[in-house]
Amino acid sequence: MIVRIMGEGQLEVAEAQLGALDLLDDRIEAAVEADDEAEFRAALGALLDKVREVGTPVPDDVLEPSDLVLPGPDAHVDEVRELFQEGGLIPG
């Protein structure tokens, strides 16, 4: 699966990692619903860190469609609220 972090680029992430990413996405969703900026910031940072940890960067000269687009680390809770699909940032 190709994951794009807005403003950073794409990473290839194994499907087996989706469960761990989904748990972090649940934290983001709960923080957005509670309008808890501090928890949102921590949860978003944890999700992006995990994607960077388990992902392999896609070379800049390779054009691949993104299966998943995540907000960058500076995203505001209101921006992410607009990006939510049913069930958070990660469909499933």
Model confidence pLDDT, tens digit, residues 6-61: 999 999 999 999 999 999 999 999 999 899 999 999 999 999 999 999 999 999 88
- Is 91 inside a domain boundary? no
Rounded CA-CA distance 6/76 in Å is 13
Domain that holds residue 73: 2-83
Q: What is the pTM of this model?
A: 0.87
- What's the structural domain count of the chain? 1
Distant-in-sequence, close-in-space partners of 4: CB < 8 Å, separation ≥ 6: 10, 11, 66, 68, 69, 70
